[in-house]
């Protein structure tokens, strides 16, 4: 999985960057995604995520994570090829995940677990949203959160 990590304020050290790459790779493997696919992850401050949350969700407060899927709301397209045409395995760009650095620390403290676990949780949560998972119903929430916990447990990040 190709990850474009945008951290203009240099919040994340190398071990946090490696953590992000590892949990995205593990999640992509579980979802059986093309390993050449791409995702953008931005680490921002509360002010920046607040502005995005207000602009795109009409919620006037900072949040922990936002996901913007590139294919969200699009109809399924039929890209069928003639039998003579060669089929290419084109990497997919899933979209953008925006995470508030301050919220990682606040929520880690609030939930009584490590900064690393909260960072990994938010990364996996955002990535699952990009792949069509949601938590609007109890069934959706149960499926999404079970997969999140499975990834975090396998990586060794438990509560």
Q: What is the pLDDT of residue 114?
A: 96
Determine contact, residues 155/148, Cβ cutoff 8 Å. no
Determine contact, residues 94/58, Cβ cutoff 8 Å. no
Statement: the pTM of the whole predicted model exceeds 0.85: yes
Q: What separation in angstroms does the CA of 129 have from each of 84, 116, 140? A: 36, 20, 11
pLDDT tens string 123-153: 999 999 999 999 999 999 999 999 999 999 9
User: Taking CA 8 as the corner, what is the angle to CA 158 and CA 65, rounded to the nearest 5 degrees?
Assistant: 40
Q: What separation in angstroms does the CA of 52 have from each of 1, 48, 131? A: 26, 6, 21
The answer for residues whose C-beta is within 8 angstroms of residue 79's C-beta and 6 or more apart is: none
The answer for residues whose C-beta is within 8 angstroms of residue 50's C-beta and 6 or more apart is: 60, 61, 62, 63
Q: Residue written as tokens 């949203």?
A: 129
pLDDT tens string 38-69: 999 999 999 999 999 999 999 999 999 999 99
Q: What is the pLDDT of residue 88?
A: 54
Q: Give the three-state DSSP class for 58.
A: coil
Tell me how crowded residue 81 is: count the other CB atoms within 10 A of its CB.
9
* Distance, CA of 120 to CA of 71 (rounded, Å): 24
Q: What is the pLDDT of residue 80?
A: 45
pLDDT tens string 73-130: 544 444 444 444 444 556 789 999 999 999 999 999 999 999 999 999 999 999 999 9
Cα-flanking dihedrals φ and ψ of residue 157, to 5°? -110, 90
């Amino acid at each position: 999985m190709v990850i474009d990590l945008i951290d203009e304020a240099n919040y994340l050290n190398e071990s946090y960057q490696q953590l992000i790459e590892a949990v995205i790779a593990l999640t992509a493997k579980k979802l059986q995604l093309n390993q050449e696919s791409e995702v953008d992850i931005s680490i921002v401050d509360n002010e920046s995520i607040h502005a995005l949350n207000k602009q795109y969700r009409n919620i006037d407060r900072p949040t922990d994570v936002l996901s913007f899927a590139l294919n969200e709301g699009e109809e399924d397209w039929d890209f069928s090829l003639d039998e003579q045409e060669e089929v290419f395995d084109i990497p997919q760009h899933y979209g953008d995940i925006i995470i508030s650095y301050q919220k990682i620390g606040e929520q880690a403290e609030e939930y009584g677990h490590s900064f690393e676990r909260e960072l990994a949780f938010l990364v996996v949560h955002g990535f699952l949203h990009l792949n069509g998972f949601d938590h609007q119903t109890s069934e959706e929430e149960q499926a999404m959160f079970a997969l999140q916990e499975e990834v975090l447990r396998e990586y060794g990040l438990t509560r």
